[in-house]
């Protein structure tokens, strides 16, 4: 096996998330949040990857395309189903274990049958004041088709049983910011907390909802629908990109059901009624589960005991940046590397705000992929436009599951005077670029100030994601950025770049050339090694090139958070390659590459992963690090992560997510904690 299947590798990644949920050394409520992440990941896998496998498996004809690892879709499907079934059972077991441990810590999950009289009264009042106005019961009648049930919501299947017949209804559980999934109850005992699902408050009040019907008993069981997230755009040239995206979003919401996840205690007649009404016929589309679903909501579990949460250190100011002084002046003198979440993203917002009011700043150009819901970045761009700057934003409408948000961002920016550009349908812009151009005193020309990042301009996630952002005024890099922004507006032109490494036209050959150089140096017995950190490694051509490097004697160390199709540690193939993955309190999202270069090491940061889509079908941007101090920081960063023997796993056959072994007496190393201390030491 030279190539490991991408889908199986992705499921292995989610198993690592589940390991954190099961790890007794992780704070208890934080383990709940990891369960929520695992649930969210699994749903996305079903919407995207599993739906794709099912489409291929249903393909009519003799030639069935091969997936990574050499599987056909029909061959892969039972393997994926089995892995998902094991994961589902493990999820339920882990949930039950954590609930028991929480109760021992004074946090009790209760349902509607376990409430005191006072709590029952409180829940009824809560239902009437907060929940009931948001609910519309849907009666299931034989002669009436069921209305559309959206993906991403939770439903209760209600059965009203009478002596001769039963009635059925569906209730959508109205989870929102003002109506949370988890409700903290008045406690019966000092120092103890009790929490109830919103589902169970509704169960408590079923009689109040269906009072107009006669029945002997009434029950409700949870279910959810996971739909195919395939997104298609029509080819009507008369429509704008926003109009096509909006139509595509409507169609995706009505995508075919891939899975019906339901409470396994649901009576057969209720299940049959729902499946018949939804047109679900195959047993492979049914997934029995526990009493509760849509457990991604665990990511927002209430903070009832801060001591049972993972403490998050405050992000630091960069030692070179004084928030009371000009950031542009700093960048003019030297390059600056921001490392999130250890450094504050506020520096980028302050830079935008400074540019918005600086009378010498003339233009601001920026790529936007995912932004915060109440984005300070967007507000700064609007401020700049209002102050007469020429502001251009490339808003990527095709950012998966953020399409609706980005359509709204487009409208907001356009209404505020910002020029908005969208990519072509077949080309997604994933680069993270900001270019500010300023008329310098006495020069008569514009000088550029450039930000090249690995993560989104999103202040909500920079406190949770590990990422890099380089601030530079290097004239060659700035000139490349001008060419790149021109390309984004005129995609028929393919400019050449002298500093930036850009896909889809130039990044793959550049990476291949770097690896070839290490191979050449290894054969000459010169220093030859590669250290890489990416989210995913699935591109087969790049994997084969790394195998070639390994056979030539190049030492390859890779930190891959998610899917990895490279099979490491195989003698004669990949014996010189080792792959590790770190899952911890921050999501490892940064991408970097460091090579020996014959004894004169070089380093890069990039927005791209080692995936075919990133190298061939997206606009990505990376930049070589020329400042030796910043290069040293990246080397130290990688070394600290490679030394992690607490949260790092080995990614190699038999693919069991084994922890990096710790020798007897060896000191424990947790890289995210040590990185914080590393950057903290630079500020003192």
Active site positions, annotated:
430
Dist CA 575 CA 568 (whole Å)? 7
Pairing of strands 419-421, 390-395: parallel
CA separation, residue 151 to residues 155, 257, 403, 501, 560 (Å): 10, 8, 15, 39, 31
Q: Find out whether 332 and 360 touch, Cβ atoms under 8 Å.
A: no
Question: What is the DSSP annotation of 476-491?
Answer: HHHHHHHHHHHHHH-T
Residues contacting residue 298 through CB under 8 Å, at least 6 positions apart: 32, 33, 35, 36, 39
Backbone angles phi, psi at 678, to 5 degrees: -60, -50
DSSP category for residue 170: E
| Both structure tokens of 503 | 């896909």
Burial of 572 (0-12, 13-18, 19+ CB in 10 A): exposed
Dist CA 30 CA 26 (whole Å)? 7
Dist CA 554 CA 84 (whole Å)? 37
The closest of 328, 317, 314, 318 to 630, measured between CA atoms, is 318
| Both structure tokens of 513 | 């050339």
Strand partners, 648: 582
The closest of 296, 280, 273, 274 to 54, measured between CA atoms, is 280
Asked, as a colleague might, if the bond just before 113 is cis with ω within 30 of 0, I would say: no
The closest of 649, 678, 660, 634 to 467, measured between CA atoms, is 634
Backbone angles phi, psi at 265, to 5 degrees: -90, 5
Q: Find out whether 318 and 336 touch, Cβ atoms under 8 Å.
A: yes
Dist CA 568 CA 543 (whole Å)? 10
Dist CA 445 CA 465 (whole Å)? 37
Q: Find out whether 466 and 315 touch, Cβ atoms under 8 Å.
A: no
């Amino acid at each position: 096996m030279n190539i490991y299947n991408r889908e199986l590798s992705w499921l292995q990644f989610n198993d690592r998330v589940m390991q954190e949920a099961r790890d007794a050394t992780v704070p208890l409520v934080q383990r709940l949040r990891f369960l929520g992440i695992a649930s969210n990941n699994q749903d996305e896998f079903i919407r995207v990857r599993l739906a794709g496998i099912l489409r291929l498996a249903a393909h009519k004809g003799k030639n069935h395309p091969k997936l990574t690892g050499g599987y056909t879709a029909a061959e892969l499907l039972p393997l994926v189903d089995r892995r998902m079934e094991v994961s589902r059972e493990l999820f339920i077991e882990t949930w039950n274990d954590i609930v028991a441990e929480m109760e021992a810590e004074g946090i009790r999950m209760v349902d509607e049958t376990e409430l005191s009289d006072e709590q029952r009264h409180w829940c009824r009042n809560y239902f009437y004041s907060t929940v009931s106005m948001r609910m519309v019961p849907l009666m299931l009648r034989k002669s009436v088709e069921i209305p559309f049930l959206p993906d991403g919501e939770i439903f209760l299947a209600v059965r009203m049983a009478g002596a001769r017949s039963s009635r059925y209804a569906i209730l959508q559980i109205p989870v929102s910011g003002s109506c949370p999934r988890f409700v903290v109850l008045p406690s019966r005992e000092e120092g103890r907390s009790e929490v109830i699902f919103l589902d169970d408050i509704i169960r408590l009040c079923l009689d109040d909802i269906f009072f107009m019907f006669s029945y002997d008993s009434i029950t409700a069981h949870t279910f959810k629908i996971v739909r195919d997230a395939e997104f298609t755009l029509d080819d009507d040239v008369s429509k704008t990109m926003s109009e096509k995206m909006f139509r595509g979003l409507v169609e995706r919401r009505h995508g075919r059901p891939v899975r019906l996840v339901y409470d396994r205690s649901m009576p057969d007649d209720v299940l049959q009624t729902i499946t018949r009404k939804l047109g679900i016929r195959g047993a492979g589309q049914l997934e029995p589960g526990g009493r509760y679903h849509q457990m991604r909501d665990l990511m927002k579990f209430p903070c009832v005991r801060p001591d049972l949460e993972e403490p998050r250190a405050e992000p630091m100011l960069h030692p070179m940046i004084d928030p009371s002084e000009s950031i542009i002046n700093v960048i003019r003198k030297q390059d600056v590397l921001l490392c999130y979440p250890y450094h504050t993203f506020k520096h980028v917002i302050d830079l935008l705000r400074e540019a918005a009011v600086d009378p010498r700043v003339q233009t601001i150009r920026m790529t936007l992929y995912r932004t915060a819901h109440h984005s300070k970045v967007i507000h700064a761009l609007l401020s700049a436009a209002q102050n007469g700057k020429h502001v251009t934003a490339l808003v990527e409408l095709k950012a998966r599951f953020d399409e609706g948000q980005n359509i709204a961002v487009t409208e907001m920016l356009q209404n505020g005077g910002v020029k908005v550009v969208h990519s072509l349908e077949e080309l997604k812009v994933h680069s993270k670029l900001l270019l500010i151009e300023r008329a310098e005193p006495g020069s008569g020309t514009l000088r550029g100030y450039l930000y090249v990042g690995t993560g989104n301009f999103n202040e909500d996630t920079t406190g949770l994601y590990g990422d890099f952002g380089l601030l530079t005024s290097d004239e060659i890099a700035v000139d490349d950025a001008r060419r790149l922004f021109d390309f984004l507006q005129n995609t028929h032109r393919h400019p050449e770049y002298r500093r930036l490494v850009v896909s889809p036209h130039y990044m793959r050959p550049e990476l291949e050339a770097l690896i070839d150089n290490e191979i050449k140096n290894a054969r000459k017995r010169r220093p030859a090694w590669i250290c890489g950190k990416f989210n995913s490694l699935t591109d087969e051509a790049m994997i084969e090139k790394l195998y070639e490097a390994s056979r030539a004697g190049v030492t390859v160390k890779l930190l891959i958070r998610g899917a990895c199709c490279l099979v490491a540690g195989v003698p004669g193939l990949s014996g010189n390659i080792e792959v590790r993955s770190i899952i911890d309190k921050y999501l490892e999202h940064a991408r970097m590459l460091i090579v020996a270069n014959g004894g004169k090491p070089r380093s890069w940061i990039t927005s791209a992963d080692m995936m075919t889509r990133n190298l061939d079908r997206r606009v990505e941007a990376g930049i070589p690090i020329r400042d030796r101090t910043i290069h040293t920081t990246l080397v130290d960063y990688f070394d600290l992560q490679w030394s992690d023997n607490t949260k790092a796993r080995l990614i190699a056959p038999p693919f069991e997510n084994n922890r990096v072994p710790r020798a007897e007496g060896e000191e424990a190393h947790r890289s995210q904690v040590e990185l914080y201390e590393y950057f903290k030491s630079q500020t003192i």
